[in-house]
Amino acid sequence: MAQPTIILILILSFFIPSHTHLQPTDQSYISMLISNKGLDFIKDLLISKAVSSLAPLQLPKIEKNLKIPVVGNVHIVLSNITIYRVDVPSSYVKPGDTGVAIIASGTTCNLSMNWYYSYSTWLVPVKISDQGRALVQVEGMEVGLTSGLENREGTLKLSLMDCGCYVRDISIKLDGGASWLYQGMVDAFEDQIGSAVENAISNKLKEGISKLDSLLQSLPKEIVVDDIASLNVTFVNEPLLSNSSIGFEINGLFTTAKKVGFLNNYHKNLQTLVSCTGPSKMLGISLDEDVFNSLSASYFSGEYMQWIVDKIPDQSLLNTAGWRFIIPQLYKKYPNDDMDMNISLSSPPVIRISEHNIDGTVNANLIIDVLEAGQVIPVICISLVIRASGSVKISGNNLAGSVKLDDFTMSLKWSKIGSLRMYLIQPVVWTVIQTVFLPYANSHLGKGFPLPIIHGFTLQNAEITWSDSRIMVCSDVAFTESRNRLLFYSK
Ligand SMILES: *[C@@H]1O[C@H](CO)[C@@H](O)[C@H](O)[C@H]1NC(C)=O
Ligand SMILES: *[C@@H]1O[C@H](CO)[C@@H](O)[C@H](O)[C@H]1NC(C)=O
Ligand SMILES: *[C@@H]1O[C@H](CO)[C@@H](O)[C@H](O)[C@H]1NC(C)=O
Ligand SMILES: *[C@@H]1O[C@H](CO)[C@@H](O)[C@H](O)[C@H]1NC(C)=O
Ligand SMILES: *[C@@H]1O[C@H](CO)[C@@H](O)[C@H](O)[C@H]1NC(C)=O
């Protein structure tokens, strides 16, 4: 059994952060930071998983011939050696430049086993044997591992760099047996039981890290939001490891099956790390405004932003009779005909985030159609610039929001019924925006889109702040076991 402290110092020596900062390379629009508190949470989760995978655990049997004073040569077999309980009273996690160290100290571990011995002497020419049970208590164990974390082609690669388990003390309690047996066992088997435990635990840790690694490898590179938009969650750049946190950057833009040019026009504002102020939270997620613009571009290119309005709260406005006094010439030309409105966006809505506001600007065309004898006759086209201000909230693991109208401007694009007095039309358009357009937008925004959170984790007590060009979500997380493999949330 090696000296625990020396080995731990060796492990930790990998982990003196030198704060060499990474050169910024690929563009990232969403970054995430796991704080000290978050790392502790994950560490506790991993340790509880490790503990439950370690108990019960069967160790290989141990056999030995011993020379015992007076008794003579004795053959002893320890079998069915089972670790049935592991306790980890204290542990900590420490990120370093190249990876993360997790140390569990003062770990105790209880084992049960069967013992058997046999011997014969020239005095008594028959074989003497006995057997029974024993309980073994392993104390003051130090268990540590360091794992490297790197970005390999857009996914995270976790690799075991070092791993050790060091037993300090063992006590053995025999159930029955001769009195000489106890001392003989302690002298002869202590080290072997100790290293059997050390090996078993080290192997389990290796296994655990490789499972965790394959889990990270299996994370998808995109989260499908619906049949139009997917969030690109490819990791870019190396994880940023500081002495108290780990940062990740992902591409973070929405893409659409249809390739469209304007999706690539984003300019990252030079800011990377998330800064969560206030009481410390486990996780911070920073989203650049271009994340939202890429979402809006995806929906725009998916021709999602065009719709026909044939029902409004004031249905009389969908008959030319309702417009008799507003546009007399319309009524004159098409008396008592039903109408609909064809609203289509002329460019993707633009979202700007400033310290005080989240603003959206929408350019739309409003075509008023008359429905006459089964025919759709477009009569007027009005172009609109709608300005709305938004608010965001967390709904489950989704970032959702809502908008309200700030103001709008309108101008006549074309008319088939001559010139119009726009100020008379304005209240009608206002009503359409308030009662049709905004509720429609809000019903979509209310669902929101999934944040890149690994399945099984849920955001808790999330707080949202925004600053120049980005939104920050600072949150604690909870974990619930699920039968499915851990994957990203998606709808
Ligand atoms: C082996 O150990 C386990 C756990 O202590 C016990 O349940 C089982 O009965 C033992 N088997 C034998 C053959 O002694
Ligand atoms: C483990 O061993 C310790 C010391 O012998 C004892 O106090 C404790 O109760 C044991 N735990 C179990 C679950 O047997
Ligand atoms: C982490 O690094 C910062 C800045 O280099 C330093 O001020 C702080 O004391 C370090 N914290 C620990 C726990 O080492
Ligand atoms: C996703 O992001 C990665 C890294 O930025 C990029 O290489 C890849 O082309 C993106 N995928 C799509 C579908 O845009
Ligand atoms: C709605 O208007 C757009 C042009 O802005 C046009 O392309 C589309 O065909 C119209 N849709 C209907 C159903 O009339």
Q: What is the pLDDT of residue 227?
A: 85
What is the value of pTM for the model shown? 0.84
Is 490 a member of any domain? no
The CATH number for 329's domain is 3.15.20.10
Ligand 4 centroid to Cα of residue 255, in Å, is 9
Ligand 5 centroid to Cα of residue 423, in Å, is 25
Ligand 4 centroid to Cα of residue 472, in Å, is 23
Residue nearest to atom 8 of ligand 3 (CA): 243
Number of C-alpha atoms within 13 angstroms, CB side, residue 227? 2
Ligand 5 centroid to Cα of residue 371, in Å, is 14
Residues 92, 73: Cα–Cα separation, whole Å: 47
Tell me, using a 6 A CB cutoff, whether residue 85 lines ligand 2: yes
436 and 367 assigned to the same domain: yes
Residue nearest to atom 1 of ligand 1 (CA): 80
Amino acid at 385: V
Ligand nearest to the CA of 251: 4
Kindly calculate the radius of gyration of the chain based on its CA atoms and give it in whole angstroms.
Answer: 35
Look at residue 378 and give its three-state secondary structure: strand
Is 11 a member of any domain? no
Tell me, using a 6 A CB cutoff, whether residue 236 lines ligand 4: yes
Tell me, using a 6 A CB cutoff, whether residue 82 lines ligand 2: no
Q: What is the pLDDT of residue 13?
A: 41
DSSP secondary structure of 201-264: HHHHHHHHHHHHHHHHHTS-SEEE-SSSEEEE--B-S--EE-SS-EEEEE---EEESS--GGGG
Ligand 3 centroid to Cα of residue 242, in Å, is 8
165 and 297 assigned to the same domain: no
Tell me, using a 6 A CB cutoff, whether residue 237 lines ligand 4: no
338 and 467 assigned to the same domain: yes
Among 256, 346, 342, 344, residue whose Cα is nearest residue 305: 344
Q: What is the pLDDT of residue 291?
A: 93
Ligand nearest to the CA of 237: 4
Residue nearest to atom 14 of ligand 3 (CA): 243
386 and 457 assigned to the same domain: yes
Contact 272, 29 (CB under 8 A): no
Ligand nearest to the CA of 115: 1
Ligand 5: residue of 304, 306, 368 to mutate (most ligand atoms within 8 A of CB) is 306
Ligand nearest to the CA of 21: 3
Q: What is the pLDDT of residue 123?
A: 72
Residue 26 CA: which ligand 4 atom is closest?
5
Residue nearest to atom 11 of ligand 5 (CA): 342
Residues 228, 225: Cα–Cα separation, whole Å: 7
Is 240 a member of any domain? no
328 and 420 assigned to the same domain: yes
Is 338 a member of any domain? yes
Max CA separation in the chain (angstroms) = 131
Look at residue 351 and give its three-state secondary structure: strand
Ligand 4 centroid to Cα of residue 219, in Å, is 15
C-alpha to C-alpha distances, 158 to 48, 208, 209, 349, 436, nearest whole angstrom: 19, 11, 7, 40, 50
Cβ neighbours of residue 19 under 8 Å, at least 6 residues apart? Answer: 242
Residue 133 CA: which ligand 1 atom is closest?
14
471 and 392 assigned to the same domain: yes
Ligand 4 centroid to Cα of residue 450, in Å, is 18
Ligand nearest to the CA of 303: 5
Overall number of domains in the chain: 2
212 and 257 assigned to the same domain: no
Is 383 a member of any domain? yes
Residues 52, 76: Cα–Cα separation, whole Å: 31
Mode of pairing for the β-strands spanning 283-288 and 470-479: antiparallel
pLDDT tens per residue across span 393-443: 999 999 999 999 999 999 999 999 998 889 989 998 999 899 988 998 899
Among 218, 297, 213, 283, residue whose Cα is nearest residue 255: 297
Residue 243 CA: which ligand 3 atom is closest?
1
Ligand 2 centroid to Cα of residue 135, in Å, is 9
Tell me, using a 6 A CB cutoff, whether residue 324 lines ligand 2: no
Only one residue has tokens 């053995």, namely 172
Amino acid at 124: V
269 and 212 assigned to the same domain: no
The parent domain of residue 283 ranges over 253-479
- Domain end, chosen from 170, 195, 217, is at 217
Is 21 a member of any domain? no
Q: Cis ω on the peptide bond leading into residue 239 (within 30° of 0)?
A: no
The CATH number for 110's domain is 3.15.10.10
Residue 367 CA: which ligand 5 atom is closest?
2
Residue nearest to atom 7 of ligand 5 (CA): 344
Is 66 a member of any domain? yes
Q: Mark the ranges of the chain whose per-residue pLDDT is less than 50.
A: 1-24, 261-263, 270-271, 484-491
Ligand 3: residue of 35, 241, 243 to mutate (most ligand atoms within 8 A of CB) is 243
383 and 471 assigned to the same domain: yes
* Ligand 3: lining residues by beta carbon, under 6 Å: 19, 243-244
158 and 261 assigned to the same domain: no
Ligand nearest to the CA of 268: 4
Ligand nearest to the CA of 173: 2
Residue 19 CA: which ligand 3 atom is closest?
5
Residue nearest to atom 3 of ligand 3 (CA): 243
Extract the tokens encoding 311: 């029902």
262 and 406 assigned to the same domain: yes
Tell me, using a 6 A CB cutoff, whether residue 110 lines ligand 2: yes
Is 241 a member of any domain? no
82 and 203 assigned to the same domain: yes
Residue nearest to atom 8 of ligand 1 (CA): 80
Residue 135 CA: which ligand 2 atom is closest?
5
